[in-house]
Amino acid sequence: MTNIRSIIQDMRSRSSRVVQDRFSAGPPSSSSSSAAAAAVEVEDGMNESCWANMPQELLREVLVKIEASESAWPLRKNVVACAGVCRSWRHITKEIVKIPELSGILTFPISVKQPGPRDSLIQCFIKRNRSSQTYYLYLSCTNGPAIAEDGKFLLAARKCRRPTCTDYIISLHADEMSKGSSTYIGKLRSNFLGTKFTIFDGQPPHAGAKITKSRSTRMVNSKQISPRVPAGNYSVAHISYELNVLGSRGPRRMQCTVDAIPSSAIEPGGVAPTQMDFSLGNVDFFPSMPFLRSKSNHMETFSSGPLASQKDGVLVLKNKAPRWHEQLQCWCLNFHGRVTVASVKNFQLVASPENGPSGPEHEKIILQFGKVGKDLFTMDFRYPISAFQAFAICLSSFDTKIACE
């Protein structure tokens, strides 16, 4: 095990040098090809090393033990490093590591695009930076109601005001948030009043998804590498807040229609589309993670086929109605200790029985969001939505709603 850890450390140092070379070479537009070449060079070098020739049975046994023993962050980074040693290590690691739906763990970057576990909530938190109008999503490294501010970074978003709308650009990188960047994975767009929002995915959320034509779509496509997995903006969900014509300070009412997920996904045996890999356009800007590079990328993008037919309907989420607490003189929801500050932004979303009677599956909280500090909020989600979709929904709660308050 000691020798394996030394291999991991050696791989990390090699990857770090590639990352430094990539950023010292200049802006992304001028160095993408050199960064990709450097990543391939490192991978080829590792493929020719002695570690690539380790007996498959022994390698699998070692990787299984590492994956099982280091099941939480920050130790989880060793599993990611194993996937980057060489091609044979990558294939076996990807076979061993299960998707979040089955494991309840976010391991690789693509995990933020995959649905969470069915039987539990993945606990995260969001930090807000008011001065820069940025938001950062972290995975909680400790389970329970206590909030530790040293979580694993997942996603970042930057607020961009337009004359008639507001965009929240969502990125895999904490310091690189623009639609032209390869780390761009989607956005949230609001109307002028802040009452209606649309979530856009940067790549197809399911087989057969149609791209939304816009100026920003053309900008992303200009950096596209593989025509098999077109980059752009794909509408995946719509969020609406009820107009408050009486000016009451009561709780907000919201509804989220997730076009990318069938309503049957919440039922026993139901399936939600699961993205299995990033498009090749994103891969070149992750030289430290060569395990993402695959010649069969376009054939393994989804674990399920096209979205269910329209007669099955799409998933509709509605906020759980709070109750009025006479002693506290406020509206209350049971967040089981995960929310400690009263705020109009706090909410819990459950599936809405649109075309039939309500069942136990409609009582499960799919997403909950709430305030715990001046600029600190918790975000917990489960199947059938992903961390990316949950983060985008929560960003809509931050936006100023002229007509709702």
Instruction: Evaluate if residue 12 carries a pLDDT over 50.
Output: yes
Q: Which residues contact 60 (CB under 8 A, 6 or more apart)?
A: 92, 96
Q: Which residue has the tokens 């709660």?
A: 397
Over 60: is that where the pLDDT of 279 sits? yes
Distance CA 380, CA 122 (A): 5
Exposed/middle/buried for residue 21 (C-beta within 10 Å: 0-12, 13-18, 19+): middle
Whether 212 shows a pLDDT value over 90: the answer reads no
Supply the CATH number for residue 362's domain. 3.20.90.10
Same domain, 147 and 82: no
pLDDT above 60 (res 367): yes
Owning domain of residue 125: 101-207+231-268+311-404
Residue 329 falls within a domain, yes or no? yes
- Average pLDDT for 293-305: 46
Q: Which of the residue ranges 41-50, 330-339, 353-362, 365-374 has the most confident prediction, judged by mean pLDDT?
A: 365-374
Same domain, 55 and 183: no
Binning pLDDT at 50, 70 and 90, where does residue 310 land? very low
Cβ pair 25, 18 in contact under 8 A: no
DSSP for 54-113, written as a single string: S-HHHHHHHHHHHHHH--STTTTHHHHHHTTS-HHHHHHHHHHSPPHHHH----SGGGGG
67 and 91 co-located in one domain = yes
Task: Map residue 376 onto helix, strand or coil.
Answer: strand
Which of 399, 397, 135 has its CA nearest to residue 252?
Answer: 397
In a domain, 55, yes or no: yes
pLDDT at 391 (0 to 100): 98
Is 293 part of any domain? no
The pLDDT value recorded for residue 239 is: 95
Q: What mean pLDDT is predicted for residues 185-202?
A: 92
Token code pair at residue 6: 């030394």
Residues 135 and 92 in one domain: no
Q: Please, what is the average pLDDT of the chain?
A: 77
Does residue 68 sit in the same domain as residue 163? no
What is the DSSP pairing of strand 323-325 with strand 365-373?
Answer: unpaired
Q: Are residues 321 and 340 in the same domain?
A: yes
Per DSSP, what are the bridge partners of residue 239? 197, 256
Q: How far apart are CA 22 and CA 20, in angstroms?
A: 5
Which helix (H) or strand (E) is 166 found in, with range? strand 166-171
69, burial (CB in 10 Å: exposed 0-12, middle 13-18, buried 19+): exposed
Mean pLDDT of 302-319: 68
285, 35 in Cβ contact below 8 A? Answer: yes
pLDDT band at 329; cut points 50, 70, 90? confident
222, part of any domain: no
User: Is the domain of 93 the same as that of 129?
Assistant: no
pLDDT at 400: 67
Angle, alpha carbons 174-180-183 (nearest 5°): 35
Report the length, in residues, of the chain. 405
Query: How many separate domains does the chain show?
Result: 2
Is the model's pLDDT at 228 over the cut of 50? no
Q: Which letter does DSSP use for residue 121 in this model? A: P
Weakest-pLDDT range from 51-60, 185-194, 288-297, 327-336: 288-297
Q: Is residue 89 part of a domain?
A: yes
| Strand, coil or helix: 362 | helix
The pLDDT tens digits for 38-85 are 455 555 555 555 666 788 888 899 899 999 998 889 889 999 998 888
What percent of the chain shows pLDDT beyond 90? 39
Tell me whether residue 84 is in a domain.
Answer: yes
Q: Are 349 and 318 in contact (CB under 8 A)?
A: yes
Q: Assess if residue 280 is contained within a domain.
A: no
R_g of the chain, CA atoms, integer Å: 22
Split at pLDDT 50, 70, 90, the class of 129 is very high
Report whether 121 contacts 381 (CB < 8 A). yes
In 176-291, DSSP assigns E strands to 184-190, 196-201, 234-241, 254-262
Q: Find the mean pLDDT for residues 317-326.
A: 84
Amino acid at 78: N
State how far the Cα of 124 lies from the Cα of 101, in Å rounded to an integer: 16
User: Are 353 and 252 found together in one domain?
Assistant: yes
**Does 165 lie in the same domain as 121?**
yes
The confidence band for 360, taking pLDDT boundaries of 50, 70 and 90, is: confident
| Prediction pTM value | 0.80
Q: Among 97, 112, 129, which residue terminates a domain?
A: 97
pLDDT at 368: 96
Split at pLDDT 50, 70, 90, the class of 375 is: very high
Give the pLDDT mean for 25-45.
48
- The domain boundary, picked from 59, 81, 97, lies at 97
The H helix count followed by the E strand count for the chain is 9, 14
Q: Verify that 122 and 140 share a domain, yes or no.
A: yes
pLDDT, position 87: 85
Least confident of 83-97, 212-226, 355-369: 212-226
- Does 294 reside within a domain? no
177 and 86 in a common domain: no
**For residues 377 and 151, is the Cβ–Cβ distance under 8 A?**
no
Per-residue pLDDT at 247 exceeds 60: no
Whether residues 195 and 255 share a domain: the answer is yes
